[in-house]
Amino acid sequence: MAVAFDEMNGPGGDVRSAYQELSRWLKETPPDALQYRRQEAELLFRRIGITFAVYGDSDAQERLIPFDVIPRILSGKEWTVLEKGLKQRVRALNLFLRDIYHNRDILRANIIPDDLIFQNPVFRPEMNGQDVPHDVYVHIAGIDIIRVDDNDFIVLEDNARTPSGVSYMLENREIMMRLFPDLFARHRVAPVERYPDELLSCLRSVAPKSAAAEPTVALMTPGIYNSAYYEHSFLADKLGIELVEGRDLIVKNDEVFMRTTEGLKRVDVIYRRVDDDFLDPLTFRPDSALGVPGLMSAYAAGNITLANAVGTGIADDKAIYSYMPDVVKFYLGEEPILKNVPTWRCREPKDLSYVLDNLGDLVVKEVHGSGGYGMLIGPAATKATIEAFRDKLKREPEGFIAQPTLALSTCPTCVESGLAPRHVDLRPFVLTGRDRTTIVPGGLTRVALKEGSLVVNSSQGGGTKDTWILDE
């Protein structure tokens, strides 16, 4: 694997311009001071209760995501390009979803094979022909971005269902400002704190027609045992909206109400952090205790906006991902600003045979997997694991895609032995309301803390960093 692009010490070893001041500061700051601040940060996180539950790990029912105190920095110029690319990408995702559940022009144009949509478990036939308020499907998108060089931003994954992590973007900043006021004084960092405001106005802007002039918005959580529960309560608090569970809601005459101490109160917009499958036991999984019976019929009647819409999974599916550059061109007639990772679709025999011949060099992902589970990283895998994947691939090729093992860019990171480069990615959050798309300058930088590791997922030992966009 090639040597990774380091975002501070560029290709020639010269400090890149966005990192000049940080680099100077790091030289002035004794290593002990950094370690001390790191411990202080951890204490703050635990105190505030910013925890993350890891499924299947009973000892660590509430774990902290390790926080790295060295910020990841992008210049204003880099951000401008990225922002434009993200808006373009999300616009295309929304148009694609509208099309898939209505005219299906893109299928008729033979750009995407029919069976990839109709055989796909995340395709929701319930949404066929159903209009959603203002044609917005993906109100909140988390687009995972990686870099391999100075030039391009590459989309690793589109998250169009219930992307999480934005609370870390906000809390990391708060904690950094508390711990390093001097470092902030030496930079002009674009603020991220208006995200909750932007989110609230985005959600209110997409209220259904039957809503009152001041629509009521609620955030729906699966409950305190969900891994992202802290984020749900954090956002509800910042937005000043009720944090509801399925049992707090009831549907009457195709309208949705919440049970309050003063009786039933109508809800117009639900920012739901519950997966499609669990929303309504009458439509989806009958065993779901998290959902609200009748919610889908209120949705069909146009009396409630669900954000994100039902059925958006078809847009961020890993099998669809490989078509995204064509999707952007088809709907917008523009060249995609953000690149895709070259992807082999194992469902296509030619691609499959290439993948089988090169398993040791590739990353193989389950089409429907997430969270870094169920994936093969060829160069890091044992022979036995590779052979096990080979069998799986042969048995069910349509369940997998493969990509080259990319040398994700690195950033200096505070580890036991001092500062060392570690691989990072970036998840900015894109908000789409009735009239406009907004992105708060920043995002969640995830960092793979283990030396050489490329897996940044928090469930797999990844950490986070504050992400700075310089306001030049």
Partner 1 sequence: MLSRTAENLFWLARYVERAEYIARTIDATLRVTALPAAYIGKTNEWESALLTAGVSQSFYEAYGEANERNVIEYLSFNAENPSSIRNCIEAARLNSRSVRTALTSEMWDTINGAWIELQEVWSKGTTSREELARFLRFVQETSLRFDGSAYRTMLRNDAYWFSRLGVHLERADNTARILDVKYHVLLPEEEHVGGPLDFYQWTSILRSVSALTAYHWVYRETLKPWLIADLLILNDSLPRSLASCYGNLVRNLDQIGVAYGRQGPAQRHARGVRNRLEHSHMDDVFQHGVHEFIQEFIADNARLGEIVTKQYLI
Q: Least CB distance from residue 142 to partner 1, whole Å?
A: 22
Q: Which of 258, 367, 402, 406 binds partner 1 (CB under 8 A)?
A: 258
Q: Is 183 one of the binding residues for partner 1 (CB under 8 A)?
A: no
The nearer residue to partner 1, 126 or 174, going by C-beta atoms, is 174
| Contact map string, positions 28 to 67, toward partner 1, x by CB under 8 A | ------------------xx-x------------------
Q: Which of 39, 119, 128, 260 binds partner 1 (CB under 8 A)?
A: 260
Q: Least CB distance from residue 292 to partner 1, whole Å?
A: 14
The nearer residue to partner 1, 131 or 197, going by C-beta atoms, is 197
Q: Least CB distance from residue 210 to partner 1, whole Å?
A: 22
Q: Which of 58, 110, 261, 382 binds partner 1 (CB under 8 A)?
A: 261
312 CB-near residues (< 8 Å, 6+ apart): 93, 97, 137, 138, 160, 161
**CA 12 to centroid of chain Cα atoms:** 32
Q: Which of residues 226-245 bind partner 1 (CB under 8 A)?
A: 229, 233-234, 236-237, 242-245
Q: Give me the phi and psi of 35, to 5 degrees please.
A: -60, -40
Instruction: Give residue 459's identity as a one-letter amino acid code.
Output: S
Q: Least CB distance from residue 59 to partner 1, whole Å?
A: 12
Q: Which stretch binds partner 1 (CB under 8 A): 1-9, 258-266, 381-389, 432-440?
A: 258-266
Q: Least CB distance from residue 240 to partner 1, whole Å?
A: 9
Q: Which of 262, 287, 335, 416 binds partner 1 (CB under 8 A)?
A: 262
Residue 446 contacts residue 166 (beta carbons within 8 Å): no
Q: Which of residues 87-146 bind partner 1 (CB under 8 A)?
A: none
The nearer residue to partner 1, 33 or 43, going by C-beta atoms, is 43
Q: Least CB distance from residue 467 to partner 1, whole Å?
A: 25
Query: Euclidean distance between the first and final Cα of the chain, in Å?
Result: 35
Measured CA to CA in angstroms, residue 242 lies from 4, 201, 236, 319 at distances of 45, 15, 6, 36
Q: Which stretch binds partner 1 (CB under 8 A): 107-115, 119-127, 255-263, 288-296?
A: 255-263
Q: List residues near partner 1 by CB under 8 A.
A: 46-47, 49, 223-224, 229, 233-234, 236-237, 242-245, 247-248, 258-262
